[in-house]
Amino acid sequence: MALKIYLAGPEVFLPNAREMLDRKAAMARSAGFVPLSPDDVEIEKKGDLAEVALAIGAADEAMMLEADAIIANLTPWRGVSADAGTVYELGFMCALGKIVYAYTNVAASHFERVRAHYGEDGLADGPGMWRGPDGLRFEDFGMMDNLMLQGGVERRGGKVVIGNAAPDALYTDTTAFAKCLSLLARPDER
Amino acid sequence: MALKIYLAGPEVFLPNAREMLDRKAAMARSAGFVPLSPDDVEIEKKGDLAEVALAIGAADEAMMLEADAIIANLTPWRGVSADAGTVYELGFMCALGKIVYAYTNVAASHFERVRAHYGEDGLADGPGMWRGPDGLRFEDFGMMDNLMLQGGVERRGGKVVIGNAAPDALYTDTTAFAKCLSLLARPDER
Residue B148 pLDDT grade (very low, low, confident, very high; cuts 50, 70, 90): very high
What is the distance between the alpha carbons of residues B41 and B17, in angstroms, rounded to a whole number?
15
What is the domain range of residue B166? Answer: 4-109+147-189
pLDDT at B140: 87
Residues A21 and A45 in one domain: yes
Task: Kindly compute the dihedral angle of the four CA atoms of residues A134, A140, A145, A149, in this order, to the nearest 10 degrees.
Answer: -120
A11 and A45 inside one domain = yes
Mean pLDDT, rounded, for A119-128: 72
CB B158 within 8 A of CB B100: yes
pLDDT at A186 over 60: yes
Residues B85 and B167 in one domain: yes
Q: What is the mean pLDDT of chain A?
A: 93
Mean of the pLDDT values across residues A160-183?
98
Give the model confidence (pLDDT) of B56-108 as tens digits.
Answer: 999 999 999 999 999 999 999 999 999 999 999 999 999 999 999 999 999 99
Q: What pLDDT is recorded for position B56?
A: 92
CA distance B122 to B34: 45
User: Looking at the structure, do residues A103 and A184 belong to the same domain, yes or no?
Assistant: yes
Please name the residues between 37 and 76 in chain A that touch chain B, using a CB distance below 8 Å: 49-50, 52-54, 56-58, 60-61, 64
| pLDDT value at A187 more than 80 | no
| Closest Cβ–Cβ partner in B50, B93, B148 for A89 | B148
Residue A149 has its nearest CB partner, among B50, B88, B94, at B88
If asked whether residues B117 and B105 sit together in one domain, one would say: no
Residues A166 and A91 in one domain: yes
Q: For the whole model, what pTM was predicted?
A: 0.96
Are residues A52 and A24 part of one domain?
yes
User: Tell me, what's the pLDDT at B29?
Assistant: 98
CB contact under 8 A, B49 and A145: no
A48-52, A136-140, A169-173, B37-41 — most confident range: A169-173
CATH number for the domain spanning B35: value is 3.40.50.450
**Separation of alpha carbons B114 and B94, rounded Å:** 25
Under the banding of pLDDT at 50, 70 and 90, the label for residue A50 is confident
Domains: count for chain A: 2
Judged against a pLDDT cut of 80, whether residue A120 lies above it is answered with no
pLDDT at A46: 72
DSSP bridge partners of B69 = B5, B99
- CA B64 and chain centroid, separation: 14
CA distance A29 to chain B (A): 26
Domain check: are B131 and B102 in the same one? no
pLDDT digits (tens, 9 = 90+) for A62-105: 999 999 999 999 999 999 999 999 999 999 999 999 999 999 99
Looking at the structure, tell me whether residues A130 and A148 fall in a common domain: no
Percent of chain A whose pLDDT exceeds 70:
96
pLDDT > 90? residue B187: no
pLDDT at B186: 86
Grade residue B50 by pLDDT with cuts at 50, 70 and 90. Answer: confident
What CA–CA distance (Å, rounded) separates A134 from A131?
8
| Contact criterion met (CB below 8 Å) for B103 and B177 | yes
Q: Average pLDDT over chain B, rounded to whole?
A: 93
Together in a domain, A57 and A151? yes
Q: Are residues B131 and B74 both part of a single domain?
A: no
Considering only residues 98 to 117 of chain A, which have any Cβ-Cβ distance to chain B shorter than 8 Å? 114, 117
Total beta-carbon pairs less than 8 A apart between chain A and chain B: 182
Please check the confidence at residue A125 and state whether its pLDDT lies above 80: no
- d(CA B163, nearest CA chain A) in Å: 19
The reported pLDDT for the residue numbered B152 is 98
pLDDT of residue B153: 98
Report, as an integer, the average pLDDT of B130-150: 92
B138 & B155 share domain: no
